Structure 1
């Protein structure tokens, strides 16, 4: 064992529910029993004691530093910050294993190791370059703390030996300039995310739709993601209302959950489309893959994104996508071939593209080939090994 994987995830349950969890699952499956994993538990594991656990089908050394229910009760402070406090509470156990190489994609974990005295070899992976506080679950508090966060984070990033980012080259350059203005000069290397191309794959709609209770001969759109303000879902709902004027049989599936769910449900009701929008909540990956494969198109309307795992999952299923012009979209979407990128947030333009995307004859093949050739889990593993010596050592 040569590195610690430290994330505020419940490693005793199936890892899903967001791009971050998906990347963690890919890393565990790739390097498995060679990792020492630090995270949360919802089982009976003794908190603060190293043990072995079956994680993503691998037998891994595991240190649970807190129970999942404890972080779910967190209200006044960030959940990730609460996890960092738990790390501090069990810092003696962290030291016991004798590993000084740390990988994480969580800002609070970076802060903890960056400011903990010692010679830590840190690889920090930005899951996206947006301000995590400003775009978090508490937007009002986030706007108040965004400035101080930027300053502290820029200092913490200096302590990382390797910095990676799920972002486009252009966005990385802009972020490096912003860090330079804050007094931090650091090289950030692009590391695209990946998806499981065996799980997320095309499936015949005539087979999969009846299994899901969905009609066969209607336009079906899908949104997959956290229901948060940054995802811009109201634009999708408003565009879908316009689409229904031309295609009254169209359906929209909303897969995911979050703090905006109640507001979005009311938005759909006020728009008069509630009977055609299905809020499905959180679903396991196998079911998500089925919903995507059943759809004619995937929809994105984010204000900011990292290199979206959800986009890769949908393309891997052969599902063309419409997206606002966020990081990663231009690397994945060729206008008129496997989807469309919207240069602005014009609702009429978005609605027109929702109609146009129903007639892209070669989209499924192009979508699938793009992901299999460039964004599989195997490609992620290779890139990680080339980026950081401790990952390379695990392959030996």
Structure 2
């Protein structure tokens, strides 16, 4: 079976890009004929895909173009590859005109599959809804990461086949213990962009730091100030650095910048717990990577995070955007860590019950085989 991942813009780092790498490498290892069609700069992620013997057809066009010009320039390359494919995966929703042109080139046995990168949101106007529904109806299957996403698709009007399945995370390496230093270290892993709502994270950390030091006084224990470590970069970094000054927490917040893919696990292991204050999310592959490394998470009630953290052994969900309430949940996890009531071993064990990469890979394989006429 030939499987084509028609990706579009492939960023050097990102959750959907990492998932693409994990999925294609798994399928290639299972003797499927896999290809990737994309545009964008070369990167370590693309190189790791090539090393797995996955063929890459890439337009080197860079970022910053309007009117979907890179996607249109990619179209001739995509049409050449799509004609020989049995299954075509899409990691983003292209303009309906592009999807129609691609669909017109395939045979009757070729299936279109859309893998949602974010929670589907209903459009605000009837024309927008009709256009979105027209695009969604071009797919034979839509894969979502949480059951709530299925309800969103039904609200939009999509009545086709939907399957709920998590992204495939990377196979975690040897489990590392919690940092031995006495200072509690809270981490964040992701891009410094609006959707991640880092201002709320910084305000939450300020509240948490106050509560944490107050308990130190109440318990007659001398505790160091906790620190916050942000792994990732983005256009809001300078603004966020200024906000740490305004909040009086600059000395306790470290901006580490972008972390190479091969150093992510070490970055995760350097912290005791992680926090996500996102406004919107899809799967949040970073959360799976963190749990695979045995670190708990406190997160907002968005995207697939409620499903991921429905097991209390893995962390806490905060249903409001109140910094004080979020800080209270961080305090709960910090206390459990201090009491040694949770550990990297227990977190990884609970995580692997649902998110073992090999089990998820097997599920993807069964889903894709179910689309093939030879297996129906």
Local SS of the residue matching 1:21: helix
1:374 aligns with 2:325: no
1:21 to 2:17 alignment: yes
Q: Which residue is equivalent to 1:159?
A: 138
| Aligned counterpart, 1:191 | 165
**Cα distance, 1:123 vs. partner?**
1.0
Alignment of 1:113 with 2:95, yes or no, is no
Partner Cα distance (1:7, 1:122) in 2: 13
> Which among 107, 114, 128 is matched to residue 124 of structure 1?
114
Q: Normalized against structure 2, the TM-score is what? A: 0.82
Residues 206, 347 of structure 1: alpha-carbon distance in 2 compared, 3 angstrom cutoff: closer
Q: CA deviation at 1:175?
A: 2.7
Asked whether the 8 Å contact 1:129–1:175 carries over to 2, the reply is no
User: Residue 71 of structure 1 aligns with which residue?
Assistant: 62
Q: Is the 8 Å Cα contact of residues 9 and 21 (structure 1) preserved in structure 2?
A: no
User: Take 1:152 and 1:84, find their aligned partners in 2: how far apart are those partners?
Assistant: 18
1:169 matched to 2:155? The reply is no
Q: Secondary structure at the match of 1:290?
A: helix
Is contact 2:3-2:87 (8 Å) kept? yes
* C-alpha distance in 2 between matches for 1:293 and 1:268: 24
Flag the 1:58–1:336 CA change in 2: closer, same or farther, 3 A: closer
Q: Note if contact 1:293-1:317 (Cα within 8 Å) is conserved in structure 2.
A: yes
Question: Aligned ranges for residues 279-298 of structure 1 at < 5 Å?
Answer: 279-298=255-274
Say which SS state the counterpart of residue 107 (structure 1) adopts: coil
Contact 1:36 1:61 in 2 (8 A): yes
In the alignment, which residue of structure 2 is the partner of 1:232?
197
Find the aligned partners of 2:62 and 2:179 in 1 and give their Cα distance.
42
Corresponding residue for residue 4 of structure 1 = 4
TM-aligned CA deviation for residue 62 of structure 1: 2.7
Alpha-carbon separation, structure 1, partners of 2:319 and 2:97:
36
1:212 corresponds in structure 2 to: none
**Counterpart among 163, 177, 199 of residue 204 in structure 1:** 177
Displacement, 1:394?
Answer: 12
Structure 1 residue 42 displacement after superposition = 4.1
Give the distance between the partners of 1:165 and 1:111, measured in 2 at CA.
Answer: 23
Distance 1:338 1:92 in 2: 44
Deviations 1:69-90 (A, max 9, x none): x322x2434xxx3442122243
Note if contact 1:385-1:392 (Cα within 8 Å) is conserved in structure 2.
no
> Is 2:57 the partner of 1:84?
no
Change (3 A) 1:265 1:230: same
Comparing 271-280 with 123-132, greater Cα deviation is found at: 123-132
Q: Which structure 1 segments of 5+ residues have no match?
A: 44-52, 135-142, 208-215
Matched, 1:218 2:183: yes
User: Is this contact kept in 1: 2:121–2:152, CA < 8 A?
Assistant: no
| Match for residue 85 of structure 2 among 81, 87, 99 | 99
Matches within 5 A, 1:237-316: 237-245=202-210, 246-247=212-213, 249-316=225-292
Q: Does 1:387 align with 2:361?
A: no
Aligned partners of 2:15 and 2:284 also within 8 Å: yes
Alpha-carbon distance change, 287 to 110 in structure 1, aligned in 2, over 3 angstroms: farther
By how many angstroms is 1:262 displaced? Answer: 2.3
